[in-house]
Amino acid sequence: MKGYQDTIRESNSRFAATASAGDISLRDLAAPLFRRQRVLVVVFLSVMAVVILFAALKGPSYTSLMAILVNRERLDPLVSTEATTQMITSSTPVTPEEINSEVELLKSRDVLEQVVLANGLEKPTLGFSLGNLLHPNRTEQDRIAGAVKGLAKQLKIEVTTKTNLIDISYSSPDPQRSYGVLKSLGEFYTAKHVAVHRPAGSYEFFAKETQKYHDELENAEAKLRNFGRQNGVAAPDVQRTNLALQVADSVGILHVAEQSVAADQERIRNDKDQMKATPPRSSTAQASAAPDKLLSDLNAALLAAQTKRSQLAMKYDESYPLVKEADQEIAQDRAAIEQANETRYVTETTDRDPTFELLREDIAKSQADLAAQRATLAATKQSIQSIQAQMVNLDQQSIAQQDLLRDAKADESNYLLYLSKREQERTTDALDNTRIANVAIAVPPAIPVLPAYGWSLILLVAVGSAMVTSVGAAYTADYMDSSFHTPAQVIDILGIPVVVGVSKKTA
């Protein structure tokens, strides 16, 4: 029988492997649930009933929330005469170690014990209690210790990621208790924080040193004022800087003047070369005219000769001498007209050449500019030498003034340091008296009105848990069953062909 069951389980394993390969349909997967309907329904109702019963017996839970902000509102000084460790600047971020230290202060035994006593958590509960049954003779100290231990477990203290906030939550069946526990926890924790971070006072020492350096600072400032009166200069460094800027500007002007001189010289040379190749005078107007009177006379003579020939041709033959003479006269007149057309009378007017005059004027202007630039060049060189001499004198005065300034700065720095230390000690005492700390209740606790978990969520959890558990139970029961469920299992395990398959209910 055992071997048969192993064979069935091996077949089921092959069935699961085949399903993973994609040969099993959705119906094959749902078949075990239909075969184990009773197990599925019983487990589903049982689990759902247990979850709902547990939630009903436990009762509603009310959660109160509180958030504590860890900041640098209060800058506690270190008792030190060094300026580098005088104070922590407000821009320095709160480190994770500091936040974890505050979390440990929240969990400290004395703070939790005060919270327990303030809210009466150590008092025994009325009615049936498993703790009273197991420990009937507990003393008050035992109850307080147990309540502190239970409170430490029930408090949920978490640090919000990438923030300086510490989130605290506490749940209990009583909303007033949830609110009271967090309220008293915030008060006792703040007092604990102030007590732990309070530095030792040394006000008298810093007050004495402050007065000492105050007197030395007044003497150094008096020497600095006398130096200004004696030398007639207030700020040698500033004046030297201004003179250096003037020297830089003058050097620029000097270079510009040198460039202008070279440019004017080259321009004058170029203008003179062009004047040699340019004539002083040039024609300004030229007019040509034809011999109109001569042409008019020749045309009249030609017309008379042609008229004469026409008259002769009417009377005589072309070989007649008079006709030939008329032809010869016409030819001479035409030749004279052609020669007269080729003849032109030209009238030309000349004046001063404009290019030559422009070059002459440009030479005169360039020579004047050259003289001005040479004067500027000489004056600029003299000005630079004078300013450089003043800068050397101011440099010597600046060295002497810097010595006095260093003494005054050193006395001032020491005076401000000890003045700040004195005020820090005085401020620390005032902050301790008013309980101002580097932690603040960012989100104060409130009395919860609604329970943490409503019946809709409880029913949803009950249904989800019941579905998962019942489906798992159905598949487990089907897997543990050694009987055949399908004809394929008979053929696969026994190797016997199946002709007809009859279900159990039909049989």
Q: Please give the residue range of the domain that contains residue 68.
A: 62-197
Mean pLDDT of 69-77: 67
> Of 27-31, 119-123, 125-129, which range is least confident?
125-129
Claim to verify: residue 225 and residue 357 sit in the same structural domain? yes
Mean pLDDT of 331-353: 73
Q: Give the span between the Cα atoms of 487 and 54, in whole angstroms.
A: 45
Claim to verify: residue 108 and residue 186 sit in the same structural domain? yes
Claim to verify: residue 40 and residue 67 sit in the same structural domain? no
pLDDT of residue 22: 46
Residues facing 158 on adjacent strands: 167
pLDDT of residue 459: 79
pLDDT in tens, 366-412: 888 888 888 888 888 888 888 878 778 777 777 777 887 888 888 88
pLDDT of residue 321: 80
Judge contact between 242 and 387, C-beta under 8 A: no
Claim to verify: residue 249 and residue 151 sit in the same structural domain? no
Report if residue 296 sits inside a domain. no
Q: Give the span between the Cα atoms of 285 and 287, in whole angstroms.
A: 7
Which of 197, 227, 262 is the last residue in one of the domains?
197
Say what the pTM is: 0.41
The 3-state secondary structure of 382-410 reads: HHHHHHHHHHHHHHHHHHHHHHHHHHHHH
Task: Band the pLDDT of 146: cuts 50, 70, 90.
Answer: confident
pLDDT of residue 253: 86
Task: Band the pLDDT of 507: cuts 50, 70, 90.
Answer: very low
Claim to verify: residue 188 and residue 261 sit in the same structural domain? no
Q: Give the span between the Cα atoms of 450 and 181, in whole angstroms.
A: 18
Mean pLDDT of 497-504: 63
Claim to verify: residue 99 and residue 181 sit in the same structural domain? yes
Report if residue 326 sits inside a domain. no
pLDDT at 437 > cutoff 70: no
Mapped onto helix, strand or coil, the DSSP state of residue 166 is strand
pLDDT of residue 435: 46
Claim to verify: residue 49 and residue 96 sit in the same structural domain? no
Q: Which residue has the higher pLDDT, 331 or 283?
A: 331
Report if residue 299 sits inside a domain. no
pLDDT of residue 482: 64
> Of 262-271, 302-311, 487-496, which range is least confident?
487-496
End-to-end CA distance of the chain: 24
Nearest to 55 by CA among 459, 448, 450: 459
Across 210-340, where does the E strand assignment appear?
281-289
Report if residue 283 sits inside a domain. yes
pLDDT in tens, 79-95: 555 654 545 555 567 88
Claim to verify: residue 258 and residue 388 sit in the same structural domain? yes
pLDDT of residue 4: 46
pLDDT of residue 48: 82
Nearest to 105 by CA among 22, 41, 194: 194
Give the number of domains in the chain: 3
pLDDT at 495 > cutoff 70: no
Report if residue 316 sits inside a domain. no
Q: Which residue has the higher pLDDT, 50 or 435?
A: 50
The string of DSSP codes covering 341-392 is HH--EEEEEEEE-HHHHHHHHHHHHHHHHHHHHHHHHHHHHHHHHHHHHHHH
Report if residue 474 sits inside a domain. yes
Claim to verify: residue 89 and residue 233 sit in the same structural domain? no
